[in-house]
Amino acid sequence: MRALLIEVDFKTGKRSGDVNPRDPKLQCYGWQDLEGGREIRIVEDGRDLSKYKGVKGVTVLEGETAVNEAITANIPIKYAVKDKELLLAHLKEKGISLNTLAGKTLDMAAKELFSQGLAGIVERKPEKVN
C-alpha cells in the first residue's frame, strides 16, 4: 500500500508535484480537505515514486498504517443534514432559532447542531484503508 499526500489549490486544480488528478492509477476515494488544500491518492500500480521524494507539497506514504494516519491527521470529518424535517422539529422542540446559524456555512452549522445532539444530522468520518 502506497499513497501520496498532496497539497492542492482547489481553485485552479493545480497539485504539487504536477500530480495528474485524471491518472486512473492515482485514486482519491474522497480523501480531500477542501479548506486545507490537501488530498490523499492511493497508488494503484508499481510506479517509481522517487521523483516525489523531497518535492514541496508531496509526501510519499508507505504502508497501510502511514496511509491511515495521514487520513486521520489530514481529512476532516464531514457533517450533513440527513433529515431536514426531523431537524426542524427538534430545533423547534428545543427552542433553538435558525438565526443562531446565520453567517455559518452549511457544514459549520451541521457540525454545531450535531455537537448539540440534534436529530437529523449525520457525521461522516473518512474511510480508512484495510
Q: For 43-66, how does the pLDDT look when each residue is reduced to its tens digit (9 = 90+)?
A: 999 999 999 999 999 999 999 999
Q: For 75-114, how does the pLDDT look when each residue is reduced to its tens digit (9 = 90+)?
A: 999 999 999 999 999 999 999 998 988 999 888 899 999 9
Whole-model pTM: value is: 0.83
List CB contacts of 49: < 8 A, sequence separation 6 or more. 2, 4, 43, 60
Q: Find, among 77, 79, 123, the residue nearest to 101 by Cα.
A: 79
Phi, psi of 46 (to 5 degrees): -95, 25
Domain boundaries defined on the chain:
2-74, 78-124
Fold assignment, 2-74: Alpha-Beta Plaits (3.30.70)
